[in-house]
Homo-oligomer: A and B are copies of this chain.
Amino acid sequence: MPVNYATPSPEALFPVAGVKLGVAEANIRKAGRKDLTLIEIAPNAAVAGVFTQNSFCAAPVKVCIDHLSRNPDGIRALVINTGNANAGTGEEGLQAALKSCAAAGELLGAPLDAVLPFSTGVVQEPLPIDRLIAGLPTALANLSEDNWFAAAHAIMTTDTVAKAASKKVITAGKTMTVTGISKGAGMIRPNMATMLGFIATDAAISPPLLASLVKEAADQSFNCITVDGDTSTNDSFVIIASGKGALSFVSEEESGWAEAKAAIFAVALELAQAIVRDGEGATKFITVAVEGGVSQEECRKVAYAVAHSPLVKTAFFASDPNLGRILVAIGYAGVDDLAVEGVKVWLEAAGESALVYDRGCRAALYREEDGCRLMREAEITARIHLGRGNAAAKVYTCDLSHDYVSINANYRS
């Protein structure tokens, strides 16, 4: 069960003009579930993406990067399967990804390099490409701008809820729509982007502007989350600007851009946080907010050390204010010459804030019962001040529970 998250209703997901979605049962891994999604993009849209930094990046990721560089202005479709990651599959996997592009392109009257493929699921097993291709006509037949809800469900793997977010912005009397979906619950420690995230807007956004937007949006959303520290082979985050709406942006200086950008960032953050709220086995949503660092990089190092510590995560699961474990993680995060006497740690939840550690030892006014009360909340912030600068960083994570072990021990069964 996700922590304070429910999939929005179909009506709450605004259609984006110029972007149609269709889903099908292709029996990729298990029968009787929608596991194939086709997204058709009207001509002249701008599309940009960021992808995993894992050396074993999946075949579809390689194809995406290649197609986006060869055909940046002509992307017409995304093909997304769940159940199989098509990673660690060598030349055969690459050919399978290309075949899926060719087949979708043929159905839509577009060239092979106008299609971007995405896969998620088990690593190092051959993609059943024939079944995928056989499913495409069904997905094509139900293409509709109203299908975001169905697509959010069809890209799930170990997710317990479908993840989607949508916003409308009115600026200078003109309306812009932003809608997105994401998936992911385990193998989540995005480095450039998350498992799968797709956002579409009807605004027109020039390709250079969109390219910098997608990086910045990823850095402030998907690149700030972690479930288990395992950076996936398939992380992909894509923004589509269909250009069918009223607003159009070529540069950062244009009026309305700040609002447009804020709406897109808000959707990205909502989708990224939804992944943590639905983290495998999660019972708590935890924000690690590090401030007072010399650089953002060292703040992120500390935040990730705390967010990845199995001991910190099990303490949150147990609602046990065994907060020394946070100090331990700060201590091995790799910050040079950290003066521990200058470090402060607060526990914050439900509008309350308790100073836990100060001046080299447990804070004088800290009381165990305060820690116990705050640790029982479902949403908790561990705020850490390093006392050595002005940089800050936030990382969102979840606790480590019995269910994480169960889910991953039984993943393929």
Q: Which of the candidate stretches A18-26, A120-128, A163-171 sits at the interface with the other chain? A: A120-128
> Which chain B residue has the least Cβ–Cβ distance from A325?
B123
Q: Residue among A187, A331, A400, A402 with the most chain B CB within 10 A?
A: A331
What residues of B have a CB within 8 angstroms of the CB of A124 in the complex?
A: 323-324, 327, 357, 361-362
Asked if B54 and A332 make an inter-chain contact with CB atoms under 8 angstroms apart, the answer reads yes
Partner of A409, one of B53, B187, B314, B341: B314
Binding site secondary structure of chain A = loop
Contact B55 A332 (CB under 8 A): yes
- Contact string, A27-62, partner B, CB cutoff 8 A, digits 1/0? 000000000000000000000000001111100000
Given contacts A231-B328, A311-B408, A408-B310, whether A89 and B362 have CB atoms under 8 Å apart is yes
Q: Among B123, B324, B402, which residue has its beta carbon within 8 angstroms of that of A123?
A: B324
Tell me whether B90 and A332 are in contact (CB under 8 A).
no
A318 to chain B, nearest CB (A): 3
**Interface readout for A383-413 with B: 1 if CB under 8 Å, 0 if not?**
0000000000000000011101110111111
A interface residues, how many (CB within 8 angstroms) = 69
Per CB-CB distance, the 6 closest pairs between chain A and chain B, nearest first, are: A123-B324, A90-B361, A124-B324, A56-B331, A318-B409, A90-B360
List residues of A whose CB falls within 8 A of some B CB.
53-57, 85, 87-93, 122-126, 186-187, 189, 191, 228-233, 308-311, 314-315, 317-318, 320, 322-325, 327-333, 335, 338, 340-341, 357, 359-362, 400-402, 404-406, 408-413
